[in-house]
């Protein structure tokens, strides 16, 4: 599924949560995250993904550092303590929403 421009705002919060979830588990990088999101049906360009990642970083939920991989520099992102706390709080809200959407 390619995200239509009129639906992008609807899914951007889910994508942010997905990014934060993976960054809490291990360091992530752009291409790897695009591939992960594509496995879940979110096909997006770097021009769509990176503003979301940079926004999470600007809010203090992720931090990045350069990493050398096969002679190239890759920027990797990890969740901050604030990001981990935000993800835990979001899980409560997602459970509530899930209950409303599917259990009734």
User: Model's pTM, two decimal places?
Assistant: 0.86
**pLDDT tens column, 65-102:** 999 989 999 999 999 999 999 999 999 999 999 899 88
Q: CATH no. for residue 80? A: 1.10.10.10
For 44, list phi and psi in degrees, rounded to 5.
-145, 160
What is the rounded CA–CA span in Å between residue 88 and residue 60? 15
- Strand pairing of 28-29 and 72-79? antiparallel
Which residue has tokens 């992720």? Answer: 62
Q: Give the chain's mean pLDDT.
A: 90
The boundaries of the domain holding residue 50 are 5-102
The count of domains in the chain is 1
Nearest alpha carbon to residue 43 among 73, 3, 87: 3
């Amino acid at each position: 599924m390619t995200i239509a421009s009129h639906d992008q705002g609807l899914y951007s919060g889910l994508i942010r949560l997905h990014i934060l979830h993976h960054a809490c588990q291990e360091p992530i990088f752009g291409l790897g995250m695009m591939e992960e999101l594509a496995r879940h049906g979110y096909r997006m360009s770097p021009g769509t993904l990176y503003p979301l990642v940079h926004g999470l970083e600007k809010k203090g939920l992720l931090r990045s550092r350069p990493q050398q991989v096969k002679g190239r520099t890759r920027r990797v992102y990890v969740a901050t303590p604030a990001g981990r706390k935000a993800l835990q709080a979001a899980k409560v809200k997602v459970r509530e929403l899930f209950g409303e959407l599917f259990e009734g």
